Amino acid sequence: MTHMNFKIKESDVTIGKECPCCQSNSVKLISECVNPQGVRFLATSICENCGHVFRSRVPSESWFNHAFQIRHEEQQKTGFNPLNPEIEKQRYERYHAIGHFLSKRFGIEKNALLDVGCGPGTGLDAFNDLGFDVVGVDPDESRARFAIEKGHEIHLGEFSTFITEQKFDFITLIHSLEHFQNPEFFLRKALEHAHEHTLFYVEVPEVLDHVLDWNDSLYLAHISNFNATSLENLAARCGWDLLEQVNPYMESELHKGHLAMVFRPRLSTVPNSVKSLNDHQVNEIVSRYYQGVPDVRKDFPMIIKVKEVNDISLGYKGIKELKKDVHDNYANRSITRTGDNTYYVS
């Protein structure tokens, strides 16, 4: 595939100042990434109340949509297949485990299911094989076209543009919410497609399971890194009550470190109280971002300069191959100290 270099201007960057989960203004800056043009295009902050990690500076949705289109056109020109068979095999197994668990644990008579962020439709195949009647939503044409070619009913576009009169028995959001610029908007809109008995399955990477070191500071794909408290806070604020925190992978060989919760529409008009983490828990999350960084001062944010932005997900990628595990994609990427809490990644 042809080498790509994504430009980001200051006008492309959006800025957030409060926690998207509990709306606290007590926010600590962990790191900022700077591109060769000197633009601070990505900043990582943590809410000192609920421990939610989010990008307080990030390229806008319109920038991402434009970048997705550029990548799609380039992949079409070169005949590049963006799908990794190992990843798709694992995706099928994960969705199959989720669908089996939902049917067994919460089985209801009808099984109309809406999957947001359906990607290439491999997961929809698994849901279909389990008897679910599925509809998918995804904005990335380079991947969603595979689902369309399989014959799945797909809305190609942002969830904000999805319109239907249908109410779904299940809504699934599997490793998608962490990508959304405005997770509150999504959770509120999901209610439009739910009836009073709808079950809403949300699965995201759990912050301490996913964030192992400094590399996450460059990870453009994830706007949010949730913990159980922050996800429950966000859902409650958007009209969803936690039914149960679950792990559908206990009977499988799949990775079990994900954060998975099942919600239902709130029936009570009494607002839920905001939950919080203690200082030790917040500091434990912050400390992960300094792992592997030479001579770092943990009382100040890191300034990280990158060689280029050549990958929509990873920010900067030093290898061309697509690895099954996201952490393996960090290979051939190194961080070097250039000044007081200032670093260069190449």
Domain ranges of the chain: 10-81+276-345, 85-265
Identify the bridge partners of residue 58 per DSSP, sorted by sequence position: 14
Query: Residue 305: CB partners within 8 Å, gap ≥ 6?
Result: 33, 34, 35, 36, 338, 342, 343, 344, 345
CATH of 85-265, one of 3.30.930.10, 1.10.357.10, 3.40.50.10420, 3.40.50.150: 3.40.50.150
pTM: predicted TM-score of the whole model, two decimal places: 0.91
- CA 345, CA 213: separation in Å to the nearest integer? 14
Angle at 85 between CA 79 and CA 89, to 5 degrees: 145
Taking residue 58's Cβ as centre, other Cβ atoms within 10 Å add up to: 24
pLDDT at residue 323 in the model: 64
- Number of residues assigned to the chain: 346
pLDDT at residue 3 in the model: 78
pLDDT at residue 153 in the model: 95
The string of pLDDT tens digits covering residues 261-281 is 999 999 877 777 899 999 999
How, if at all, do strands 53-59 and 224-225 pair?
antiparallel
Identify the bridge partners of residue 345 per DSSP, sorted by sequence position: 306, 335
pLDDT at residue 317 in the model: 85
How, if at all, do strands 335-339 and 342-345 pair?
antiparallel
pLDDT at residue 46 in the model: 98
In the chain, the N- to C-terminal Cα span, in Å, equals 20
The 3-state secondary structure of the chain reads CCCCCCCCCHHHEEECCCCCCCCCCCEEEEEEEECCCCCEEEEEEEECCCCCEEEEEEECHHHHHHHHHHHHHHHHHHCCCCCCHHHHHHHHHHHHHHHHHHHHHHCCCCCEEEEECCCCCHHHHHHHHCCCEEEEEECCHHHHHHHHHCCCCEEECCHHHCCCCCCEEEEEEECCHHHCCCHHHHHHHHHHHEEEEEEEEEEECEHHHHCCCHHHHHCCCCCEEECHHHHHHHHHHCCEEEEEEECCCCCCCCCCCCEEEEEEECCCCCCCCCCCCCHHHHHHHHHHCCCCCCCCCCCCCEEEEECCCCECCCECCCCCCCCCCHHHHHCCCCEEEEECCEEEEC
Tens of each residue's pLDDT in the chain, 346 residues: 567 899 999 999 999 999 999 999 999 999 999 999 999 999 999 999 999 999 999 999 899 988 988 887 877 787 766 678 888 999 999 999 999 999 999 876 668 999 999 999 999 999 999 999 999 999 888 888 899 999 999 999 889 899 999 999 999 999 999 999 999 999 999 999 999 999 999 999 999 999 999 999 999 999 999 999 999 999 999 999 999 999 999 989 999 999 999 999 998 777 778 999 999 999 999 999 999 999 999 989 999 999 999 999 889 987 766 665 677 777 778 999 999 999 999 9
Identify the bridge partners of residue 32 per DSSP, sorted by sequence position: 43, 303
pLDDT at residue 337 in the model: 97
Q: Which of 292, 288, 301 is nearest to 340 (CA)?
A: 301
